Amino acid sequence: MIENFIASTKYTQNLFKINNKILEEIEVTALDEKVPIITREVLNFMVFTARGIKARNILEIGTAVGYSGIFLAEVAKENGGYLTTIEIDEGRYNQAVENFRKMKILNDNRLILGDALEEIPKLDKSRKFDFIFIDASKGQYMKFFNETWNLLNEGGLIFIDNIMFKGFITENYENTPKKYRTIIRRLDEFVKKLNLEYDFVLLPFGDGVGLVRK
C-alpha cells in the first residue's frame, strides 16, 4: 500500500507531458475556470487503454470544454474512426466547438449539444463504438451505462471516471455528507451490479476508475 498517495499521484501526473501549446492552454483555462476536467494520470491511463484496443469509434458522455475529447479524437483518428461526444451545457459545448476548431479537428468529429439520455437513443444503431467514456453527472451513471451497453462492440470497453466519488463511496453511506448520499448510494449500487454481472474491474486511483469489457 502506498502511504503517501497524494504525492504519488502528483508524481504520476507530472510524467504525462502535453507537447502542444494550444492543448496546454485549454487545460490551464479549464482549470482556472474550475471546469472539472479529467486528471492527467487518469487521462494517461485512458489514452493508453483506448490505444491498446485500437479504438476506432469512440463515444464520450460529458464533453465539458473538449479537453479529454481532443485526446480521444486523436486515438480514433489513428484507427480510422472519429469521436462522438455529448454535452448538456450550452456554454461548455460552445467552448468545446471552439477548442476543436483551434485544434483543427472540428470537422472530423461529432459534437452534440443535449442531454445524453435523450441524445444516445438518437444515435445510429448500426454504428457501434469500441470505447465509451462515461464522465457526466454521477447520479445518472447506471442510466448512461444501460443506454450505451448495446452500442458497444464485442471486445469494446466502457471507461467510467469518478466512480468512487471523492473517496466517499462506501458500504455505509449513512456516515457520509448528507448532500452526497443519493449519489453515493447510486454509485455503490452501480459498482456492485457491474461487479456481479459484467466483466468489470474497479481501480481506486484518481477519483476511482471503472472498466467494463464486453
Cβ closest to ligand SAM, residue 116 vs residue 132:
116
Cβ closest to ligand SAM, residue 29 vs residue 153:
29
Cβ closest to ligand SAM, residue 89 vs residue 98:
89
Residue with cell 456492485: 192
Cβ closest to ligand SAM, residue 103 vs residue 136:
136
**In whole angstroms, how close is the CB of 9 to ligand SAM at the nearest point?**
16
The three-point CA angle 40-45-46 to 5° equals: 95
Strand partners, 86: 61, 112
Strand partners, 60: 85, 133
Residues that bind ligand SAM (CB under 6 A): 36-38, 61-62, 64, 67-68, 86-89, 92, 115-117, 135-137, 140
Strand partners, 210: 160, 202
- Give the relative orientation of helices 67-78 and 21-32 as an angle to the nearest 10 degrees: 150
Long-range contacts of 194-201 (CB under 8 A, 24+ apart): 194/145
Q: How many CB atoms lie within 10 A of CB 124?
A: 8
What is the DSSP code (8-state) at residue 90? Answer: H
Cβ closest to ligand SAM, residue 78 vs residue 90:
90
**In whole angstroms, how close is the CB of 90 to ligand SAM at the nearest point?**
10
**In whole angstroms, how close is the CB of 112 to ligand SAM at the nearest point?**
9
Nearest-angstrom CA–CA distance, 17 and 140: 32
H/E stretch holding 71 reads helix 67-78
Cβ closest to ligand SAM, residue 94 vs residue 153:
94
Nearest residue to ligand SAM on Cβ basis: 62
Strand partners, 160: 134, 210
**In whole angstroms, how close is the CB of 160 to ligand SAM at the nearest point?**
12
**In whole angstroms, how close is the CB of 121 to ligand SAM at the nearest point?**
13
**In whole angstroms, how close is the CB of 87 to ligand SAM at the nearest point?**
5
The residues near 79 (Cβ < 8 Å, ≥ 6 apart) are 54, 55, 56, 130
